[in-house]
Amino acid sequence: MTTSPSDALSDLSGTIVLVGAGKMGGAMLEGWLALGLDPARVIAIEPQPAPELAALAGRGLRLNPAPEAVRETSAIVIAIKPQVAPEVVPTLAP
């Protein structure tokens, strides 16, 4: 028996932390949601959220929560430009 990507996303029990939800990260998030991922299973870290991203907070997405609020993380997806990585990545350690 095989599992389709949408089955895997709708059955996700943990949280995906998306670091960087600009063009690239936002496109990935859009695809995940289209495949059935519950927005409540996503934490987005984005210093300049687009209105579409901010609107997802009304559907359960956690936007820029305090670091201690991140629990039961299944995956961290880093979708930032390489030139900002030295500044952003160290903040993910906690």
User: What does the H/E/C string look like for 9-76?
Assistant: HHCCCCEEEEECCCHHHHHHHHHHHHCCCCHHHEEEECCCCCHHHHHHHHHCCEECCCHHHCCCEEEE
Write out the residue range of the structural domain in which residue 38 sits: 5-92
Residues in the chain, overall count: 94
Judged by DSSP in three states, 15 sits in strand
The tally of domains found in the chain comes to 1
Domain CATH for 41: 3.40.50.720
Q: Return per-residue pLDDT of the chain as tens, 94 residues.
A: 455 655 667 777 789 999 999 999 999 999 999 988 999 999 999 999 999 999 999 999 999 998 777 777 888 999 999 999 999 888 887 6
